Each structure stands twice: as C-alpha cells, then as structure tokens.
Chain A
Amino acid sequence: MADPIVVVRDVYKEFYREKITIPVLMGINLEMAAGDFLSLMGPSGSGKSTLLNLVAGLDQPTSGNVTVVGSHLGEMSEGELAQWRSQHVGFVFQLYNLIPVLTAYENVELPLTLAPLTRRERDEHVRAALEVVGLGDRMDHYPRQLSGGQEQRVSIARAIATDPTLFVADEPTGDLDAKSAGEILDLLERLNRDFGKTIIMVTHDPNAAARAKRLVHLDKGVLAGTVETPQASSQAGGRR
C-alpha cells in the first residue's frame, strides 16, 4: 500500500454506562491509502459506527492511535479537532441532516463559512459542488422541497464543497429507495474514481458495500476480515 492517509493502530474503545464498562472496539488495526474506498460491514453493535467516528475525529479512542492525514487525532483538543474536521473531513449521514431552514445552496455553503474564502470564492465552490451532484437547478430549493435522493445529493455536495481529504459516509443509502440508492452509490463511486477521494462507508447493504474497493467486516469489536471487492480489480483493470 502507498503511504496510508488513515492509520488506526491498536485502537480500543470503551464506553461507560451506569458504572458498567462496555468494550466496543478491541485492538483494531486498519490502514487506508489515498484514493481508497472502504466499506465497513457488520452486525449492529459490532463497532463500525464507533470506528467511523474515531477516523472522522468525532470521538477519541480509549487507547491506541488514530492518525489521519498526518494528524494524531488523540493528541488534539476539541477545538483543534473541530478545525481539523472542517478542513479534512466531509460527512454524509443516513438521514441527510440538512438544515431545514436553509436552501440547498445555503446548506452547501455552510461549511465554507468556516474557511478563509471570499463571498465570490464561496459562491464558486457551492455552484461547482451542486453541479457535480447534478442539482445545479435546485439551488434555491429548501430540503422539504426535495426528494430523499436529492437531499442526500445536497448532503454530498455539502461534504465535497470544502474539498476534504476524507469522506465518511454512514449508511448513505439506508433511507433511500433502490433507484435513489443506486444514484448515490454511483455518485460516491464517481467521486472516488474521477476525483480520487478517499471514502470510508458504513453500510448494512451488501450491494452498496460491493461498490467499494475493500470490504472490512467487524464483529464484536474486532476486525473479522478484509476482502478486496471485484470493484477494486475492475478499477485497477480500468486504470491499466
């Protein structure tokens, strides 16, 4: 593997609920190279969302190290992590999580207000992101005026607007019909293939998982196996 941009080393994560310690991740080791597309699968409670949160800098491990794009996330303060996320991570959530009082344009613009950009530069980024997801004609629509698939595409536009290094997607197709799910997966695949974006995706859907290059199985907090998908071979073949 080329120089990894995500390195998870001997990570343990425990939660404390009413004086009871609940181990969620136990000695996880994982690496992702730039341009990788990895699916995390496993039964409920296996720890996949927890692992995703650690890689995205939303949470910190009980022990072990998580290094993403050269930053040791365990050593950063909450404020530093927030700034780091704004620069390096794009989020796609299962329920889209758009701000209902903002238009599609304004939702996409939201993370850009944290960046040192002029209004004109922000405008260019927003329009480009919405064009990439095919919603250039829906900029002034509020989330309630969009279908589920369109909302998720706005959510993806919001994630790519800042041009982050890493995309984290949590069940991005979990709330969509098959057609819309297919469109979203096509979009993620395109971002990975054409724009070289590194994606880590949690999913329960084997068809969605198959779109990734690698499939990582988690079971009871440990890595149960890693599989290279046919997608990886076909893309590699394509590149050849």
Chain B
Amino acid sequence: MTSLKYIWRNVIRHKLRSSLTVLSIGFSLALLTVLLGYMAMQDVWGEEAQKHNRIVVMSKEGFAGLLPITVVDKVREMPAVKAAVPYSWFGGEYKEEKMSFAQFSTDAKHVMNVWDEYKMDPAQLSEWQKDRQGCVVDRRLAEKRGWQIGEKIPIKGTYFPFDLDLRLCGFFEAPQYTDSLWFHREYLDEGLKAGNPKGRAVGKTGMVFVKVTNDAAIPGLIDAIDDSFESSDNPTRTQTEAAFAQMFVDMLGGMRLFIIMIGAVVVFALTLVAANAMAMSTRERTTEVAVLKAIGFPRGRVLRMILGEACLIALFGGLLGVTMGCGLLEGLHALNSQYFPFRLSEFAGLWLGWLAVISAFVGLASGIVPAVLAARRSVIDGLRRVI
C-alpha cells in the first residue's frame, strides 16, 4: 500500500463532504476561468490587431461623434496609406433577434485592401461591388445561419432610422470569427437621405479604417491625421487597431482590475471553504493521526499525507472548474461571437497555467494549517481519548 492509496481512501472517506468541497472549488474556478479567459481573449484581440498595420480614425468626441465622408478621401491621399474605408456600426435587428450579428456599412471597392488578410472569392466580391443592396458575411456566420448566396437578409434599423433589405452576394474568411456582415455605405446613406436629407448621419461615417504600408510609419501617420483635422469642424482621434480594441475594455471602467479583484476574492473564499473541510476532516481523525505517529510515522510524512489530501481535492476541483469554465467560454463564443470573438484554442495560454497554480495554492493553503496542527499535536494528546 502506498501513501497515495491511503490519501485517496481518505479523500473518498466522506464522499458527500469531499464532493461538496470539490464542487465549491469547481464552481469558483469555473467563474475564474471565464474571467481570466475573457481577459486573455482581449489580449489576443489586441495582439491580433497589432499584426496588420491598421489604424482607426474616429471623431474626437468618441463613438458618439461622426466624421464627414470626405475625411476618407483626405486620409487616402496621405503618405504611407495603402487603403482606407469608411466603417460604421449599424446595430440593427435581424428578424426577431435582439442580439444578432454585427453589421457594418463600408466601401466595397476598398474594404478587402484594408483587411487584406481576409479571403474572398473575386467573383463574389465583384458581384457585391455591383449590387447596391448586396452584402457579404463571415463564412462561419453564413454556415451557422444556413445562408446561401442570394439569401434575402432584412435588418431593422434601431440606431439608424432606416431598414436594410440586403441580398447575400458572398462570404469572406477571416483568421478569427468576426460574426460580421458588410454592406454598402452608399445604400445606407441614400436610405437616410430619403428619410431626412438633413439628418445627422447623412454623408457621415462612424470610423475610418486605414491600412498602413508599414508599422514604422504608424506613429507619424497618426499624428499627421490628427494634426490635419485639428483645426477643422471635425477633429479626429486616431489610434492603432490594438489601442482601439483595448478601448472597449477601458470603456467598461477598469474592468481588468475589477476582474482581478473578483478573482482574488473568489480564491480567498474558496480557500476558506476548502480549509474548513480539511480542518473538520483532520479533527475527526485526531486519534487516527496519533496512532500513525505512535507506530512510527514521522511528522513530515503525516504533514505530507494531509497536504496531499487537500491538494488532491483541490486538483479535482480545479479540473472540474477549468473544464466547466472552458466549456462556458466555448458556449459563450457560440452564443455571442461579438463579445466572445475567439474560440478557446485561439486564446488558450499561460492563463490556464495560472489556474493550475491557483488550484495548487488552494490545496496547499487549505491543508497547511490542519496538516501542521496534526503533525505537531503530541501523540499523547491525540491518544488521550483512548489511552
């Protein structure tokens, strides 16, 4: 019989208590997995955005402001600009869905030069460019919805007072799932003009996405763009795509710090739960531990056996929690790819290792006090009930 076998028997001695402890650790770590996973996903989004030499021009007022469409042409003329397109979030509803996919109005002629890592059949692109009411979607979005070329896609305007009546012309393939649909800016503009020729959004764009020829030119170009519009009626705020991605995190108000604080509280609470279970377990076995020491088990071995028990419970809880958390992240990606744009395999990394470290910490921290007390308790005191 090995020590591990004895430890295992003790773990399953009180099945209900051990199961509840494993579950409490599991659920807490599942929450932590989702929180850490979400942060990792944001990092990957930022890293991914850094690879493609893109910058984003938007109104200095932020998302609430709009830029005249003429800004696009002015930016195109600047040195080191490879391509630039207007890009506006439409935010409409597809059929009865409240949280449907993302829709953006853009320039069909140049958009594939800005997102040049995306792939699209040239015939489909040409078809889209010719059809004013045409649209293209992420291939995975089309597969998920079962859309075919020629599919009618009605989108009800919520932010803009115009309903889109789109026809699917093609699919683009992005390295990561975008959950997006692109349609012609002109189509939206005409629709808005028809409703109200002096409407606030007519002839405007929310953002301008710019592809830069090389990364070294980015800082100079950002300054050049902002300087050139500084004295205009529409001053701009230009940033890298990575900074733009980070802005969404910042918008949530110190979200990262908040997540870390929640995580720390969760770990602290579950350590107390596990420590309580271990303390109860070892207290019930005071005499048993005394017998082990009486027959010659040294303090260190007793300490290791109790710590091993706590670590084994934490390990099971950790495995359960990380499995549940990863399942949740995959589920959230499937349910809402706008907010969870990456599959787990795309952002799995060191943070999963941290969860293993946290599990080990919970095991050690919850077991150390009961283990030390049990190891230090005198044999006579432990046997007192018997001898």
Q: Which residues of A contact B (CB under 8 A)?
A: 49, 52-53, 56, 58-59, 78-79, 82-87, 91, 93-95, 97, 99-102, 106, 109-111, 113-114, 158, 170
Give Cα A111–Cα B6 distance, bound, in whole angstroms. 13
Task: Give the A-B contact count at a CB cut-off of 8 A.
Answer: 74
Judge whether B13 is part of the interface by a CB distance below 8 angstroms.
yes
Tell which of B30-38, B133-141, B161-169, B295-303 binds the partner. Answer: B295-303
Closest-by-CB residue of A relative to B291 is A97
The interface size bin for chain B is 20 to 34
Docked-complex contact A102 and B1, CB < 8 angstroms: yes
Docked-complex contact A82 and B386, CB < 8 angstroms: no
Which chain B residues (334-387) contact chain A, with CB distance < 8 Å? Answer: 378-380, 383, 386-387
Please name all residues of chain A whose beta carbon is closer than 8 Å to the beta carbon of B293 when the two chains form the complex: 82
Docked-complex contact A79 and B295, CB < 8 angstroms: no
| 14 interchain pairs, CB-CB under 8 A | A53-B380, A53-B387, A82-B296, A83-B298, A85-B294, A87-B296, A91-B295, A97-B291, A99-B6, A99-B288, A100-B288, A102-B1, A102-B9, A114-B297
Docked-complex contact A97 and B287, CB < 8 angstroms: yes
Docked-complex contact A158 and B295, CB < 8 angstroms: yes
Please name all residues of chain A whose beta carbon is closer than 8 Å to the beta carbon of B296 when the two chains form the complex: 82-87, 111, 114
List the 3 shortest-distance A-B pairs measured between CB atoms, nearest first: A86-B296, A101-B9, A97-B291
Given contacts A53-B380, A94-B386, A102-B1, contact A79 B288 (CB under 8 A): no
Give Cα A110–Cα B13 distance, bound, in whole angstroms. 18
Docked-complex contact B387 and A93, CB < 8 angstroms: yes
Please name all residues of chain B whose beta carbon is closer than 8 Å to the beta carbon of A52 when the two chains form the complex: 387
Please name all residues of chain A whose beta carbon is closer than 8 Å to the beta carbon of B383 when the two chains form the complex: 58, 93
**Separation in Å of the A101 CB from the closest CB of chain B?**
4
Judge whether B10 is part of the interface by a CB distance below 8 angstroms.
yes
Closest-by-CB residue of A relative to B376 is A78
Per a CB cutoff under 8 Å, which of B1, B9, B386 touches A97?
Answer: B386
Give Cα A97–Cα B285 distance, bound, in whole angstroms. 11
Give Cα A91–Cα B5 distance, bound, in whole angstroms. 23
Main secondary structure of the interface of B (DSSP, over half): helix
Q: Which residues of B contact A (CB under 8 A)?
A: 1-3, 5-6, 9-10, 13, 287-288, 291-299, 378-380, 383, 386-387
Docked-complex contact A110 and B386, CB < 8 angstroms: no
Please name all residues of chain B whose beta carbon is closer than 8 Å to the beta carbon of A94 when the two chains form the complex: 386-387
Docked-complex contact B387 and A49, CB < 8 angstroms: yes
Give Cα A86–Cα B297 distance, bound, in whole angstroms. 8
**Separation in Å of the B305 CB from the closest CB of chain A?**
11
Please name all residues of chain A whose beta carbon is closer than 8 Å to the beta carbon of B386 when the two chains form the complex: 93-95, 97, 170
Per a CB cutoff under 8 Å, which of B10, B291, B295, B378 touches A86?
Answer: B295
Docked-complex contact A102 and B387, CB < 8 angstroms: no
Give Cα A100–Cα B5 distance, bound, in whole angstroms. 14
Give Cα A65–Cα B228 distance, bound, in whole angstroms. 97
Docked-complex contact A102 and B379, CB < 8 angstroms: no
Closest-by-CB residue of A relative to B11 is A101
Give Cα A156–Cα B267 distance, bound, in whole angstroms. 46
Give Cα A68–Cα B291 distance, bound, in whole angstroms. 20
Per a CB cutoff under 8 Å, which of A58, A78, A101 touches B294?
Answer: A58
Given contacts A97-B288, A101-B13, A102-B1, contact A111 B295 (CB under 8 A): yes
**Separation in Å of the A24 CB from the closest CB of chain B?**
12
Give Cα A113–Cα B1 distance, bound, in whole angstroms. 8
Given contacts A82-B293, A87-B296, A114-B297, contact A106 B387 (CB under 8 A): no
Closest-by-CB residue of B relative to A159 is B295
Please name all residues of chain B whose beta carbon is closer than 8 Å to the beta carbon of A85 when the two chains form the complex: 294-296
**Separation in Å of the B31 CB from the closest CB of chain A?**
33
Given contacts A102-B6, A110-B1, A170-B386, contact A93 B291 (CB under 8 A): yes
Given contacts A95-B386, A97-B287, A101-B9, contact A106 B1 (CB under 8 A): yes
Please name all residues of chain A whose beta carbon is closer than 8 Å to the beta carbon of B6 when the two chains form the complex: 99, 101-102, 106
Please name all residues of chain B whose beta carbon is closer than 8 Å to the beta carbon of A79 when the two chains form the complex: 298-299
Closest-by-CB residue of B relative to A95 is B386
Give Cα A78–Cα B297 distance, bound, in whole angstroms. 11
Docked-complex contact B295 and A110, CB < 8 angstroms: yes
Please name all residues of chain A whose beta carbon is closer than 8 Å to the beta carbon of B299 when the two chains form the complex: 78-79, 82
Give Cα A69–Cα B142 distance, bound, in whole angstroms. 86
Give Cα A49–Cα B299 distance, bound, in whole angstroms. 23
